Chains A and B, each alone.
Chain A
Amino acid sequence: MTRRIARLFGRGGALNPRNIRLGMWAWLIQRVSGIILVVFVVMHVVAISQASFALKGPLIMILDGLRNPFYYVDRTFLSIDIIMLGIIAFHGMNGIRIVLFDTGIGVGLRSHKVIFWILVAMAIVASGLVIYYGLPLLGGA
């Protein structure tokens, strides 16, 4: 086990950061963010369900409660939500990149990198928009 890890991360190892190029980073981050998001989705479903049981009303009223600027918002949960937003945006955009390559669009060393950075920019813009419009509604700003 230890030898295997040493081989992976040591000099010349496949997971040594020095040997990881852009496509490998994309693959690795996609895996890790995917695992994080499975946990998040389950937590999100549980949290929203609990809220909908506790507040005993249709969802639109629960959302109205959340939109109230005086509604107490836990900063920790708010920051987790914002971090998750970024992870979701990256995972989604990088996923589009994978689907593009699987369908044969944009295959090539140079276009690989260009498409990656275009999609990362789109992910940043998308999360920026959601934070800009969503944060005041959640009472975060």
Chain B
Amino acid sequence: MSENPSTGTNVWLWLLQRVTAVLLVVILGVHLWLANFGEASASLRAILGVTLLGLALFHGLNGLRSVIFDFSIGDQGRKFTTMLLLLLGTLSLLFGMHGLWPVIVGG
């Protein structure tokens, strides 16, 4: 219903791409501010870190998905791409959380 069968584009993913774009501009600003002037409590750092990680991964990989979907790769190819990017995203999220762990448990 939310998927266009001929192009494979999904209206919810499109909307989420816009929402994460706006959030990323704001949170990246905070991220760069903290990297330079760094005054924030550990919990705020942890929340910002995990949020930024998740948003950036979703926005990036979903963007990659639309770029790939612009080439004619067929139904199988689209399914494969989506699954591959989902797997890549989940693994990267876990790896990033692993790296952020010192901040999450209180730095």
Binding site for B on A (CB under 8 A): 31, 34-35, 37-38, 41-42, 45-46, 48-50, 52-53, 57-61, 63, 88, 92, 95-96, 98-99, 102, 130, 133-134, 137
Residue of A with least CB distance to B26: A92
Given the complex of chains A and B, what is the CA–CA distance between A3 and B61 in angstroms?
Answer: 31
For chain B, give the interface size range.
20 to 34
- Tell me whether A88 and B102 are in contact in the complex, defined as CB-CB below 8 angstroms, given that A49-B95, A133-B36, A134-B36 are known contacts: no
Instruction: Kindly list chain A residues whose C-beta atoms are within 8 Å of the C-beta of B107.
Output: 57-61
Binding site for A on B (CB under 8 A): 18, 21-22, 24-25, 28, 32, 35-38, 42, 45, 53, 56-57, 60-61, 63-64, 67, 92, 95-96, 98-100, 102-103, 106-107
Residue of B with least CB distance to A92: B25
Instruction: Kindly list chain B residues whose C-beta atoms are within 8 Å of the C-beta of A99.
Output: 18, 21-22
- Interface class of chain B by DSSP: helix
